[in-house]
Amino acid sequence: MKKIIPIIFLFLFFEGFAHDKNDSLIITRLETSFNQLKHKNDSLEAKLSKIEKEDYKSIDVIEKVDNFYDKAWNKLTLFFSLAGSIILFVLPYLFAKNQEKTINLKKQEFEDHTNSKLQELEQKLQKFHQDQFNLLKDEINFASQDLNKNLKNEIETVKSMSYFLRGLVAELDGKHDLLFKNFITCAEKLISLNSNGDLKDVITAITFRLKSIDKKQIKLQKDVFVKLEKLIQNINSKYPEIFVIEIEELETLISKMNNSSS
């Protein structure tokens, strides 16, 4: 714009000068036109300057806005990058850690449950073994007691039969009263021992020898018959249904011998 104004001025000047150099009116008109053009030129320059300033401000605003959106876009890009990183790496890691924690918790629960069951089973086994041990101990004690009892009975039976042997020795010596007294003592001890088999043998031996003495008409002391009657009472009291025949035969024989002696 500044280059155009002088060119226009010169063009008008030469044009006016060519038509009428001496015409002052033209000069005045040219001056007026020049002043008007100059005024317009100043106005245009002012407007141009204002537009340029406003353009600078607009450009600055645009640059600021552009910088703002660039920064915002960079931040958004960074955010999505971080979010993507979190989704791709952090979340799987956290999920894996959570799964590991859950697995460890389940593992611990399983181990605790297993240990509890093992302790319970161990206690049951201990109780079972203790019960079995107590049962075996009781059986051993019972067997031991029974053995001791049987052994004691055997010993007492042997002691009882020793009186039977003494009776046989007395028989060999011809001591008939002592014979029956030893047999009766043996029978009394066998009754206390519940030795029925041996008792029957002794009763049979007493009956047999009484028959033999009765045939030989050998007299026995009165206390021998008293002891025999007491023995029969004890046998009937202890075994009312076992030695019925043997006792009847013995009672008949004793009654006969008592009648003979009287």
Compute CA distances 113 → 102, 129, 169, whole Å. Answer: 16, 24, 82
| Residue type, position 13, single letter | F
User: What is the DSSP track for 143-207?
Assistant: HHHHHHHHHHHHHHHHHHHHHHHHHHHHHHTT-HHHHHHHHHHHHHHHHHTT-HHHHHHHHHHHH
Instruction: Show the low-confidence residues of the chain (pLDDT under 50).
Output: 1-14, 16-21
Report pLDDT digits (tens) over 133-183. 788 778 887 777 777 777 887 888 888 889 999 999 999 999 999 999 999
Q: What is the pLDDT of residue 109?
A: 82
Contact 220, 206 (CB under 8 A): no
Question: How confident is the model at residue 19, as a pLDDT?
Answer: 47
Specify the length of the chain in residues: 262
* 140-161 CB burial, b ≥16 within 10 A, e <16: eeeeeeeeeeeeeeeeebeebb
Does residue 253 contact residue 210 with C-beta atoms inside 8 Å?
yes
Neighbours of 209 (CB within 10 A): 17
Retrieve residue 207's tokens. Answer: 């009956």
